[in-house]
Structure 1
Amino acid sequence: MILTIDPVRLGSALALSGGYLAMCAAIWRARASARRSVSTGTADWLVVHATQTGSAEYLAERTAETMRTGGLSARAACMSELDAGALGSATRVLFIVSTYGEGDAPDSGARFAAQTMGTTPNLSHLHYAVLALGDSSYTNYCGFGRALDGWLAAHGATPLFDRIEVDRGNGDALAEWQHHVGRLAGTSDAPDWEAPGYGDWRIASRVLMNPGSAGAPLYRLGLVPLDGALPDWEAGDLAQVSAPLDPDHPREYSIASLPGEGELALMVRRQRREDGSLGAASGWLCDHAMETDVIKLRVRAHGRFRLNGNAARPLIAIGNGSGLAGLRALIKSRIDAGKGDNWLLFGERNAAHDYLCREELQGWLAASRLAQLDLAFSRDQSTPRYVQHLVREHAQVLRSWVEEGAAIYVCGSLQGMAGGVHEALVEVLGAERVEAMTLEGRYRRDVY
C-alpha cells in the first residue's frame, strides 16, 4: 500500500504544531523570567506584594525603602514572580497583600494562591510578616491575607510579629506596620507614609448618561481644580474622592478622560443602601454637591492598569457599566497616539437607555479609530445576553488579535461580568495562554 500525504493537511498540521510550540515557549519564557527576577536577587529582605489597584505595591515600595534606610538590603517584588522554588531559598519575607472580591487573591497573586499554596513545602527556614489590606464591609474581610498567614505558619514559617489588618487604608494599622518595619530596620528616621493630600476641585458639569434606564442612574461628572491647574495622570489611573459624610474612607473611581481634554471626568453610578438612603459618596456627587461646593479629590497612579509596554499593541477592551470610564481613557490615549487597532466589547441593560457614549463610540468607529465595536444589551431579548457572550461569539477574531500581539484590558463589575469574561477567555484562548498573558502583562483587569 502506498501512503499518500495531503500537502494542505500537512501544512495545517505543521502550522498548528508550530503555533502550539510557540505558545509553550512564550509561557516558559514568561515563567523563567519571573523565576530569575526573584531567585537571582541578592537582597536579604524580600517585600512581596499582591495588589489589584496598586495600594499594596505602593506600600511594598515604601517598606523596602525603610529597610534600606536602616542599611539593610531589601527589594520589592510582585507575588506573580514568586514560586515554591524562590520561596524555598528566601529566609526573610514581608508580605503585603490585598483581598479581591469575597476573600480571593488579587490577579497578581492568583497563580501563587492556586499553585504554590496548594503544595506542602517545609518553610521552617523562613521568617515572615503579613500586612493584609481589606474592606470590612465584605464578608471575607482580609480573606487572602488571613489564608496566606495561615498557610505559611502551617508549614513551619516563623512570624516576626502578628498579622496586621488594614481596613480601607486605616492610618493606625499602617502606622503599626511602619513601626514594626522600622524596628526590624533599626531606624526611626523613615518618613511617614502619608498619601498625597487632597486638592480642592469643583463640579464643572454633571450629565445623566442613562435617562429612563431600569438600572441605577449613571452620571458623567466633569471636574476641574479650583486653582485652574490640572494635575498630570495617565489613562488607567484612579481618582480618590473624600465625601463629607464619610471623609475617612475615600472612594475610588476610574478616570474617564485625559489631561489634554481640560477636565477630569468620572462615571459615577448613584448607589442606594438597603434602607433606601443614598450612598455617602455617590449620592453626594450625583445629587447634592453644587458647583460652588468643594470636592476633595486626589489622583492615584494605577500602574497595573496603565498601557505602559502595551501602548503599541492592539487593544482589546472589555467591560460593562461604569467600567467604560477606564476603557474609554485607554482607547482615547491610543487614538491620540494615532493608533486605530482598538476593539471594544461592552455590555449594559437596554440599547434605548444604556448605550453609553453612543455618539462618540459611533464616531470613532466611522473614523476607523475603533477597528471593531461589539455590544451586548442584556435586557433587549428574552434570553439575557452579556459581554462574555460576545467573547465566545467572536472567538476566532479574538484569537487572531491575540496572535498578533494584542493586550486585553477588562474594566467593570466584579460580580458576574469579570468572572464570566475570564471563563470565556479561558475557553477561547486556553488556560495556559491566559496565564502567559497575565505574566507578560498583556491581560489586565480593573474590576470592583
Structure 2
Amino acid sequence: MLPAHAPFSESARRLIETALVGLDATQRAWLSGYLASAPAAAVTAPAASVKALVLYGTESGNSEKLADRTAKEAKKKGIAATVKNMSDIKAADLAKHQNLMVVVSTWGDGEPPDTATGFYKEFMALETKLPDLKFSVCALGDTSYEKFCQVGKDIDAKLESLGAQRVAPRADCDVDYEEAFTDWLGATLTALAPQSVAVAEVPAAALPVASSYGLKNPFPSEVLENILLNGKGSAKETIHVELSLAGSGLTYEPGDALAVIPSNADDVVADLLQAAKLTGKEEIETKATGKKALADALREDLDITGLSRSVLTKLQEAAPHPKLAALLDESAKEQLKEYTYGREIVDAIVDFAPQGLPAQTLASLLRKLPPRLYSIASSPLAHPDEVHLTVAAVRYQSHGRARKGVASTYLADKAHTGQSVKVYTHTNKNFRLPENGDTPIIMVGPGTGIAPFRAFVEHRAELGHSGKNWLFFGDQRYMFDFLYQLEWQEHLKNGTLSRLDVAFSRDQPEKIYVQQRMREKSRDLYDWLQQGAHFYVCGDASRMANDVHEALIDIYQQHGGLTREAAEAELEALKKAKRYQRDVY
C-alpha cells in the first residue's frame, strides 16, 4: 500500500496499487532500480502563494549571506521572500507583514550589529501588537562570549511579547553555524510553505558541486612574503603577509576580509594533553574531526583555548566539581566572567579535573576550530592574484602561563615563504568605497586597523579616482611602529593621499590617540562631512571605535550647534546612508 502522504490522486493511487499487486519480488526490485536511475522529470516551480520578509542584521556579512540563502530556499517552497537589511526598515513596518524570518548576529558584549542598532532600539521600544505575524528567528553568535546570541534572543522574546506567532524554535548558532542554520531553515520553511506545494527532493548524485573555495573547501594559498613591519626596539610584533590566489578563482573587493583556517601550536596541544593526562595517540571521533588520533584533532580541528560557559558546563557534566558548580550558578555571573578572563581550557582542566579526562570526553568539550577573519590590506587591481594581510601577533602572560593568539601566531610562526595557508575570501558589503570616485573619504585606522585603508587608497589610485583621501593613523612609537610609512609618504607625494594625521601614544609623557587628532582637526573634518565625505573606522571595537564615535558626537555638537541627541541622530543618518561604516573587532 502507498503511504497516505504519497503525492497521488485517489484514482492514480488505485491504479498504481493494482499494478503492484501483480508483481513478484524480483519484478518490484527491478522497477525500483529503474525508477531510481531514470532522469528526473522537470518540475515547474509553483507560483508563490505566501509572502514573507527575511530581515537580517549583520556586522561581517554572515547574516546577509544566510538571509539570501533563506530567500532562495523559500522560493522553492512557494514562498515569495523579500530580503531587507534592518537598516532599511522601520520597526513599525513589521505590522504590514504576515510572515517574518529574522537572521541576526550579536556583536561584542550582547550588542546588535552596527547597521542594525537603529532598528533594534526602535523595535525593542515597540508597543504595537502583532497578532497576525508569524515568525522565526535564527540568531548568530559566539559561545566564547557570555551574552551568546543575545540580540536574536531579545528579538525572539519581543516578537512573542507582541503577540506574534512563533512557527519554529529559535536557532542559536555558534561560529560553526551550518548544521544549526540548516535545521532551522528546514523547520521554518516547512511551517510557512503553502500546504498544497509538494517539493521534489533532488537525488544526492544530482546535486551541483561547489565550484568555489570556502569554509568546507579552503584554498591552499602559497605564502609569498612574511615581513615584520615594526622596527627593532618596538614592543609590538606586526607582520605583513602576502598570499597567492593564483588559480583559485577567488575574488575580493577593498573592504572584504580573508578567512584564515589556522592550526593550534604544538606547545599548546602538549600542555592540554599533559593537563588531561593523555598521550595524544588515543583515537577519538566527533562531528568536527571524524575518527582520528586525539593529538591530530587537537592540532588541526578543535578550539582548544577558548574558555566559555558552554565549555565549563560540559566539563561540569563530565567531571563534577563543587567549585565549578558554584561558578556556573546564575548568581555568580561576575565571578565566572572574572575566572574566564585571561584563562584557557587547560587552566579549567587543571583547576577542576586534576585527575585528568578520557580522550573522548576531552574532545566532546571542544567546538570546531573557527576560521579567523582578517581585513584585506591590498587592492586586487594593484596586486593581481594576491591578497595581503596586516596581522598583530598576540603574545602575553596571564595567570602564570604564556598565551598566544591562535591565528596571529600561526601566521607569524608557521606561515613562512613557500608554505601554504588554508584560506577563502569573505565578502563584507558593509565596508565599501563610495560608488562615486569623486567622493572624499576620511579613514581612521590605528594599528592593524590600517589594513583596509591601504587597500582603499591603492584601489582609488589604480582607478584614477579624484576624490580626496584623509587618513588618521595611530600606534605606539613613530620610530618603530609607523606601519607602511614609505607607502603613505609616496601617496602624499603623488597626491593620492590628501591628508595624513598621526598619533603616536608613547612618544610623549601624555598619551595621544587618533580621537584627539580628530578633535584638533574638527573644523575641517566637519566641513568634509558636510560636503558629502564618507567616514570609515577600522580596528579595536572595545575602546577605540567608541572613543572615535564620541569624538564625532562632540564635533557635530561643536560645529553643528546640536544637542547630543541631535548629533547622535545625524550619525545614525550617516550610517543609514552608508556614509559612516565600521569594521571593528
TM-score, normalised relative to structure 1: 0.85
Q: Does 1:268 align with 2:391?
A: yes
Residue-by-residue CA offset, 1:237-289 (whole Å, 9 max, x unaligned): 11111113354411101110122314210011112364323222211111123
2:474 counterpart residue number:
347
Pair 179,309 (structure 1): closer, same or farther in 2 beyond 3 Å: same
1:110 counterpart residue number:
117
Shift in Å, 1:433 = 2.0
Pair 342,213 (structure 1): closer, same or farther in 2 beyond 3 Å: farther
1:154 counterpart residue number:
161
> Does the 8 Å contact 2:139/2:172 carry over to 1?
yes
2:546 counterpart residue number:
419
2:96 counterpart residue number:
89
- What is the rounded CA distance, in whole Å, between the counterparts of 1:426 and 1:293 in structure 2? 47
- What is the rounded CA distance, in whole Å, between the counterparts of 2:97 and 2:248 in structure 1? 47
- What is the rounded CA distance, in whole Å, between the counterparts of 2:89 and 2:226 in structure 1? 45
Pair 141,192 (structure 1): closer, same or farther in 2 beyond 3 Å: farther
2:518 counterpart residue number:
391
Counterpart of 1:73 in 2: which secondary structure?
strand
1:309-388 alignment to 2 at 5 Å?
309=435, 311-340=437-466, 341-388=468-515
**Structure having the higher Rg:** 2
- What is the rounded CA distance, in whole Å, between the counterparts of 1:114 and 1:188 in structure 2? 42
Which ranges in structure 1 are unaligned for 5 or more consecutive residues?
1-41
Shift in Å, 1:139 = 2.0
Q: Does 1:281 align with 2:407?
A: yes
Question: What is the percentage of aligned positions where both structures have the same residue?
Answer: 33
> Does the 8 Å contact 1:310/1:407 carry over to 2?
no
Which residue of 222, 230, 234 maps to 2:253? 234
2:43 counterpart residue number:
none
Pair 439,193 (structure 1): closer, same or farther in 2 beyond 3 Å: farther
Shift in Å, 1:156 = 1.7
Shift in Å, 1:394 = 1.2
1:203-282 alignment to 2 at 5 Å?
203-212=223-232, 215-225=235-245, 228=247, 231-245=250-264, 247=301, 248-260=369-381, 261-262=383-384, 263-272=386-395, 274=398, 275-282=401-408
- What is the rounded CA distance, in whole Å, between the counterparts of 1:215 and 1:44 in structure 2? 57
Counterpart of 2:371 in 1: which secondary structure?
strand
Which residue of 106, 125, 128 maps to 2:132? 125
- What is the rounded CA distance, in whole Å, between the counterparts of 2:171 and 2:208 in structure 1? 17
Shift in Å, 1:331 = 1.7
Shift in Å, 1:302 = 1.2
Q: Does 1:138 align with 2:264?
A: no
> Does the 8 Å contact 2:168/2:188 carry over to 1?
no
> Does the 8 Å contact 1:231/1:259 carry over to 2?
no
> Does the 8 Å contact 1:124/1:156 carry over to 2?
yes
- What is the rounded CA distance, in whole Å, between the counterparts of 1:211 and 1:140 in structure 2? 39
- What is the rounded CA distance, in whole Å, between the counterparts of 2:189 and 2:123 in structure 1? 30
- What is the rounded CA distance, in whole Å, between the counterparts of 1:388 and 1:204 in structure 2? 35
Q: Which amino acid aligns with 1:105?
A: P
Counterpart of 1:205 in 2: which secondary structure?
strand
> Does the 8 Å contact 1:91/1:125 carry over to 2?
yes
RMSD: 2.3
Pair 325,43 (structure 1): closer, same or farther in 2 beyond 3 Å: farther
> Does the 8 Å contact 2:477/2:505 carry over to 1?
yes
Counterpart of 2:138 in 1: which secondary structure?
strand
> Does the 8 Å contact 1:315/1:343 carry over to 2?
yes
> Does the 8 Å contact 1:80/1:439 carry over to 2?
yes
- What is the rounded CA distance, in whole Å, between the counterparts of 2:86 and 2:248 in structure 1? 37
1:64 counterpart residue number:
71
Residues paired across the two proteins, number:
406
- What is the rounded CA distance, in whole Å, between the counterparts of 1:199 and 1:242 in structure 2? 10
Shift in Å, 1:211 = 3.2
Which residue of 396, 419, 430 maps to 1:293? 419
365-374 or 173-182, which deviates more: 173-182
- What is the rounded CA distance, in whole Å, between the counterparts of 2:230 and 2:417 in structure 1? 21
Which ranges in structure 2 are unaligned for 5 or more consecutive residues?
1-48, 265-299, 302-368, 557-566
1:9 counterpart residue number:
none
Shift in Å, 1:212 = 4.1
Q: Which amino acid aligns with 1:358?
A: Q
Shift in Å, 1:447 = 0.5
Pair 308,399 (structure 1): closer, same or farther in 2 beyond 3 Å: closer
> Does the 8 Å contact 1:378/1:385 carry over to 2?
yes
> Does the 8 Å contact 2:57/2:103 carry over to 1?
yes
Pair 363,76 (structure 1): closer, same or farther in 2 beyond 3 Å: same
Counterpart of 1:303 in 2: which secondary structure?
coil
